[in-house]
Every structure is written in C-alpha cells, then in structure tokens.
C-alpha cells in the first residue's frame, strides 16, 4: 500500500476499531505566567481572530505569544501612567495635601491608560 502524504511527512496513525486516526500532538512549550492583559488578548483571539488563535495553538507558541503581549501591555500601561502623572502635575505633595483629589485624578489616568493599551496592544 502506498504511503499517504501525511505518512511521508512523518505522521503516524493509531488504530481505533476499524478506523485509522492521525496521531497528532502539539509541540511542548515552556509555561509562562499570563496576566490580565494576556488573558484579554486570548479572549479577543478566540472570538475575533480564530485562524490566528488556531495557528498559535497548533504550533505550540500560544503561551509564549500571550506572555509577550502581556509584558508589552504592562510596560505600556506603566509608562502611560507615569507620563500622564507628570503632564498633569500629580505629585506626592498633592497626595499629602488632598488625598481624595489625588485618588480621583489617578483613577482617571488609569482608566484612560487602560483604554489606550486595549486599543493599541490588546485589540490590534
């Protein structure tokens, strides 16, 4: 019997009753922690970029990819917050003088930075 293309490429079959089922495995990948940004991007891929998600999953690179996205998003988020704090003169002195105003302004900055990161990194 002639070999199939799958067998010529090194694939193997396993017999289940009367059927030959391709024996497929995903390459091993180093486990890396994925934070909230990586999880959001994963949900985005699953919902809107199914081909990209499937390609990353079957190539065994999804964990590395998501960890990298998470790292990029976290760095961008921190950088944006620091830049906006400086631009709006939100200092430790303001925190000491009026903690309520400082908290409100910092929360506004965080919300705006989160929107930017989601648009530029997570949903791009």
Say if pTM beats, i.e. exceeds, 0.75.
Answer: yes
In a domain, 20, yes or no: no
CB count in 10 Å sphere of residue 97: 10
In a domain, 100, yes or no: yes
In a domain, 25, yes or no: no
In a domain, 2, yes or no: no
pLDDT of residue 42 exceeding 70, the answer is yes
What are the pLDDT digits (tens) for 99-108? 999 999 999 9
Query: And the tokens for 6?
Result: 């799958």
What are the pLDDT digits (tens) for 110-122? 999 999 999 999 9
**Structural domain of 51:** 34-122
Q: Return mean pLDDT, the chain.
A: 91
- What pLDDT score was predicted for residue 1? 65
Name the nearest CA neighbour of 69 among 115, 39, 34, 38. Answer: 38
**Model confidence at 51, in pLDDT bands (50, 70, 90)?**
very high
In a domain, 91, yes or no: yes
In a domain, 4, yes or no: no
In a domain, 113, yes or no: yes
**Model confidence at 22, in pLDDT bands (50, 70, 90)?**
confident
In a domain, 11, yes or no: no
Domain count for the chain, please give it. 1
Mean pLDDT within 82-98: 95
């Amino acid at each position: 019997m002639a070999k199939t293309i799958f067998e010529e490429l090194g694939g193997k079959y396993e017999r289940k009753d009367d059927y030959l089922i391709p024996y497929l495995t995903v390459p091993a990948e180093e486990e890396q922690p994925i934070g909230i940004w990586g999880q959001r991007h994963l949900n985005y891929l699953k919902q809107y970029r199914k081909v990209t998600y499937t390609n990353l999953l079957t190539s065994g690179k999804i964990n590395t990819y998501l960890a990298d996205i998470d790292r990029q998003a976290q760095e961008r988020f921190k950088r944006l917050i620091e830049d906006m704090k400086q631009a709006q003169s939100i200092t430790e002195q303001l925190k000491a003088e009026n903690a309520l105003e400082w908290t409100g302004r910092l929360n506004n900055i965080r919300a705006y930075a989160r929107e930017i990161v989601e648009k530029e990194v997570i949903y791009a």
